[in-house]
Amino acid sequence: MKNILVTGGCGFIGSNFIHHLINKNDLSHIVNLDKLTYAGNISNLSQVSNSRHTLIEGDICDSDLVKSLFDKYEFESVIHFAAESHVDRSIDGPSNFIHTNIVGTLNLLEHARSYFSKTKNEDFRFLHVSTDEVYGSLDDGGKFLESTPYDPSSPYSASKAGSDHLVRAWNRTYELPTLITNCSNNYGPFQFPEKLIPLIIINCLNDKPLPVYGDGTNVRDWLFVKDHCNAISSVLKNGKIGQTYNIGGNNEIKNIDVVKTICSILNEVLPREDGRSYSELINFVKDRPGHDFRYAINAEKIKMELEWVPKESFDSGIRETIHWYLDNRSWWKPIQDKTYRQERLGVIQP
């Protein structure tokens, strides 16, 4: 079996990607390096066979550990998901984001470079998974291209922009065979409840207020996580070394409309006991500092070069997501009880 290093494989997108590899019968052994911070959850992979997956609890910033893994497993590829990823948390504690997202990525790149220079394995790839937030904010027109200048607004997006620049530089300077993907907002199973869609679903189920930043008109392009995993596989297999690929869901929606859609579906599948609409729980709150107005991905490059397009519409994807959270209360309730109780984060105190 080929050995693949997946960093952050107990997180939201990383665990979905591991399930994707296993389900498509990819003949590889996955070494999953995860620090198991608040957002890393071993139960995300409870149904994955140990014969195909090895979990290493550790930090991507640990140089000795990362070197030992390259020496032991001689990886065919690295898919780098591990990152601090929540904008609100980056406002509260930016240093963690700089350390993990920039220093951690540097550490992985250096050991990948050392390994590649020794083995000269022509099949080796280092795929760095990033975000559209590095491009900054759009007004009502246009979409992000791979050539769009970086203009990050938050400590999170700035740290991801820094890591992107490192990956690109290691390709150009050291000829490390790298690939970068920049995706739009993901949603789907196993997403930690601090993010908008699971937060709204769980608050509805608990009959709690549904916080909407500002006036709710900020726009995001929503990408179902399983579509994202398919795209990453396509880039890993057929992407051109040194290239960046934008991955979007073709679903530009205002935040308030996302919330109202969730309320409408829950009104249908699980009505409130008093018969009132979940939308009556909507509560407009003070906007996030530096809140980007609009993100929108132009995904023509990956469509034309790799023949990838998303399969799920927002309507089909959000219904599947809602039903997953309804059917998997045993997954999110321990998080709610012990780790995160839907409290507001990222509020700058005077």
76 assigned to active site:
no
Calculate helix-pair angle for 196-205, 329-338, nearest 10 degrees: 90
71 assigned to active site:
no
Whether residue 230 contacts residue 201, with contact meaning beta carbons closer than 8 Å, is answered with no
Q: Which residue type occupies 133?
A: E
156 assigned to active site:
yes
Which residue from 188, 255, 251 is spatially nearest to 222, judged by alpha carbons? 251
Which one of the listed residues 132, 164, 221, 312 is annotated catalytic?
A: 132
Cα distance between residue 199 and residue 210, in whole Å: 8
| 3-state class percentages of the chain: helix first, strand second, coil last, to nearest 5 | 45, 20, 35
What residues are paired with 294 via a beta bridge?
138, 219
The DSSP annotation for 96-117 comes to HHHIIIIIHHHHHHHHHHHHHH
Q: Residue 65's pLDDT is what?
A: 98
Which one of the listed residues 84, 133, 227, 292 is annotated catalytic?
A: 133
pTM for this predicted structure: 0.95
Which one of the listed residues 34, 84, 135, 156 is annotated catalytic?
A: 156
**pLDDT tens for the chain, residues 1 to 350:** 799 999 999 999 999 999 999 998 777 999 999 999 999 999 999 999 888 999 999 999 999 999 999 999 999 999 999 999 888 889 999 999 999 999 999 999 999 999 999 999 999 999 999 999 999 999 888 999 999 999 999 999 999 999 999 999 999 999 999 999 999 999 999 999 989 999 999 999 999 999 999 999 999 999 999 999 999 999 999 999 999 999 999 999 999 999 999 999 999 999 999 999 999 999 999 988 888 899 999 999 999 999 999 999 999 999 999 999 999 999 999 988 876 556 655 555 54
What residues are paired with 275 via a beta bridge?
none
Q: Using CB atoms within 10 Å of the CB of residue 327, give its burial: 0 to 12 exposed, 13 to 18 middle, 19+ buried.
A: exposed
| Alpha helices (runs of H) in 93-238, residue ranges in sequence order | 94-98, 104-119, 155-174, 196-205, 225-238
**2-192+223-252+290-312 adopts what CATH topology?**
Rossmann fold (3.40.50)
